[in-house]
Each structure stands twice: as C-alpha cells, then as structure tokens.
C-alpha cells in the first residue's frame, strides 16, 4: 500500500510532458541569511501554479478506462489540478470545497470547466460531500493527499531536488495533509538517508503537527489563514500519510501569520517571487530563527494561487483582513 521509490520513478514517466521538472534556483537573500546555499524549488512554475498537478495526473492515470467522471475535496489547488487533468481526459469533474476557500481559487477551477460544490465550513465537510458524490453519482474520487498515487506523484519533487543537489543537508517542506511531505521525504531519504526533513505549517489548525504529537490523528479546528492551502484535517480514516510522516519527518515547526507574511514580503522584495502563504512556511521558519541550518538546504515554493489585490496591499505594508482577523501591516525593510 505504501508507495516506494520505484513508484516515484514510475510517476515521473506518467506525468512527463504535462507536469515537468521545475527550476531549482538559489536564493541569494536566503543564502546570506542562513550562511549556507539555500535553494528554492519553484513549483509555482507548474501549470495551474502549484505542485498538485503531479499527484493528480498520476492518480488519474491509474483509473480504469471506463471512468465516467471524477470528484475530489480540496482547499483549492488540488481541485484545480484535478479539473485540469480531467479536462485533458475529457472527464466530468466535480470539486467540493468549504466556505474557507478563497474566491480566486474557486474561479480558477470553474474556468477549467469543472463543477464546484461549496459545502460546509471545513475541509472535512467538503470531504463528506465528495464521498457522497462518489457513491451516488459513481464518480471516481481523487483524494488530495492520502493516496499512494498522489503521494508518488508529489514525490517526484523530491527526486528532482536530490538529483540536482545530492549534497543537501536539509529540506523544509510545507505541511498539511502530508501527501507532499510523504512523497518528498520518501524520495529524499532513499537517496540521502541522513538528510534532515523539516515540516512547516501554520500555528492554528495544524492537523499533522498535532497528530504527530499525540501519536494518532486528532480533530483540529479550521481557521482562516494566509496559508489557506494548509487547512483541513487528516481524514476520518487516514491510511498512509500519518504513518509515513511519523516515520520520515525529523521535526515539525509552526509559524505565525506574521511570520508567513514576512516571508511572503521577503521573497517578493528580495527575490521578486510571488508565492501564496502556504508555500513560504519553510522560508518563514528560517527567517524567524526557528530552524538553524548547518549546510546547504532547500525549500519547496509550492504554489502561487492567491488574491492579487490582497497580495499587493500586503506587499505595500497595508493591513489586511483574513477571515475574522486583521493582520497589521508592516512596510518591508522599514
């Protein structure tokens, strides 16, 4: 059931030509800050602006030929990847999301011709609706993270990073349901067993962090966050990602909304990169002094799907509202 390194190599063949190798670029700013080579794996360059296409394409390719349509629950980026992959195969796609998903992400999914169902307040509510649709309308479900094909697909990132820089001593990985982390850690550890694997997520509603601490998946609340892509629980019956993260992750670090904003600003002003909150948690942890590095390191800039008006306001140092919370502005460098 657990995917292996061979499955990650196989996934690379499956997704080739659609979700291709992304750039791994040095960040001069972060290298100066950390005192070591610091690299950014730019998954923002994937079609649909996030890494999720890797897993979605690999899972879609494993479906039987007579599949009539697909469904999924999503915090936004997985739904967009599934919509894109389904359209390529001429399949109907129904994406279930909660009210917490930003409008920019909903619009991106509709634009691909997929149906969108907004159900409930949390990712768990959306998951219930996707399971119901799978049953009642006989659609194939493409899980956002807890699936061997999805994990193997995301693992191709780890393969690419380690092939390019086998000397890396640490990898910082944005962490939510852990599909990305499970795949990346699986590949990176197979290639360099001693590498330090650090998961980074937001403070409020950190499902995997709390599960790892408790020793089993626990219920967590879901809150508005700049890292909207990292919200949601691990699912009622987590089969793979909890155990894989438990076995493969060295540390989990939590970052605040302010620290996420600071990292988005630094990446924008120093490296001229636009990235969503969930994708900069690795940077945020280093910038906030919560992770000390002792050699070359890399992080995955996982996506860039955000509301550009809010982003522009934040970069200019204005206050922004995130759900029920006001994040006080800070002018970068001031």
181 touches ligand PLP by CB under 6 A? yes
Of 27 and 176, nearer to ligand PLP (C-beta) is 176
Which among 18-26, 99-107, 155-163, 271-279 is the span making contact with ligand PLP, rule CB under 6 A?
Answer: 271-279
Site for ligand PLP (CB under 6 A): which residue of 69, 148, 174, 231? 174
Name which of residues 296 to 325 contact ligand PLP (CB under 6 A): 302-303
Site for ligand PLP (CB under 6 A): which residue of 93, 100, 140, 145? 145
Number of neighbouring beta carbons within 10 Å of residue 315: 17
Of 22 and 229, nearer to ligand PLP (C-beta) is 229
Q: Which residues lie closer than 8 Å to 320 by C-beta, 6 or more apart?
A: 310, 313, 314, 326, 327, 329
**Shortest Cβ distance from residue 310 to ligand PLP (Å)?**
16
Could you give the CA distance from residue 179 to residue 306 in angstroms, rounded to a whole number?
21
Site for ligand PLP (CB under 6 A): which residue of 148, 179, 233, 282? 179
229 touches ligand PLP by CB under 6 A? yes
Residue 334: is it exposed, middle or buried by C-beta count within 10 angstroms (0-12/13-18/19+)? exposed
278 touches ligand PLP by CB under 6 A? yes
Of 43 and 262, nearer to ligand PLP (C-beta) is 43
* Nearest residue to ligand PLP on Cβ basis: 303
180 touches ligand PLP by CB under 6 A? yes
Per rule CB under 6 A, count of chain residues that contact ligand PLP: 19
**Shortest Cβ distance from residue 260 to ligand PLP (Å)?**
12
Of 308 and 334, nearer to ligand PLP (C-beta) is 308
Name which of residues 62 to 101 contact ligand PLP (CB under 6 A): 77
Q: Which residues lie closer than 8 Å to 136 by C-beta, 6 or more apart?
A: none
User: Which residues lie near ligand PLP (CB under 6 A)?
Assistant: 50, 52, 77, 145, 174-181, 229-230, 276, 278-279, 302-303
């Amino acid at each position: 059931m657990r995917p292996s390194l061979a499955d990650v190599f196989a996934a690379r063949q499956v997704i080739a030509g659609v979700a291709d190798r992304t750039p791994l670029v040095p960040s001069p700013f972060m290298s100066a800050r950390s005192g070591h080579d610091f690299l950014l794996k730019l998954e923002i360059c994937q079609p649909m602006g996030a890494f999720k296409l890797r897993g979605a394409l690999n899972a879609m390719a494993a479906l039987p030929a007579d599949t009539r349509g697909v469904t999924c629950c999503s915090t936004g980026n997985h739904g967009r990847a599934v919509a894109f992959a389904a359209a390529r195969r001429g399949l109907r796609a129904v994406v279930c999301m909660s009210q917490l998903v930003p409008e920019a992400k909903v619009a991106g999914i509709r634009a691909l011709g997929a149906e969108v169902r907004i159900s409930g307040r949390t990712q768990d509510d959306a998951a219930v609706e996707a399971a119901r649709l799978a049953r009642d309308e006989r659609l194939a479900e493409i899980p956002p993270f807890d699936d061997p094909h999805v994990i193997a697909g995301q693992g191709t990132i780890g393969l690419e990073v380690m092939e390019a820089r086998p000397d890396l001593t640490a990898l910082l990985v944005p962490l939510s349901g852990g599909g990305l982390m499970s795949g990346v850690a699986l590949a990176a550890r197979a290639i360099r067993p001693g590498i330090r694997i650090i998961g980074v997520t937001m403070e409020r509603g950190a499902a995997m962090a709390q599960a790892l601490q408790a020793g089993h998946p626990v219920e967590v609340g879901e809150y508005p966050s700049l890292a909207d892509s990292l919200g949601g629980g691990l699912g009622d019956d987590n089969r793979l990602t909890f155990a894989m993260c438990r076995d493969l992750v060295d540390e989990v670090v939590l970052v605040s909304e302010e620290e996420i904003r600071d990292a988005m600003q630094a990446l924008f002003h120093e490296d001229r990169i636009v990235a969503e909150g969930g994708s900069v948690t690795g940077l945020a942890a280093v910038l906030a002094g919560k992770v000390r590095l002792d050699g070359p390191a890399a992080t995955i800039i996982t996506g860039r799907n955000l509301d550009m008006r809010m982003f522009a306001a934040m970069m200019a140092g204005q206050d922004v509202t995130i759900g029920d919370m006001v994040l006080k502005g800070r002018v970068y460098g001031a």
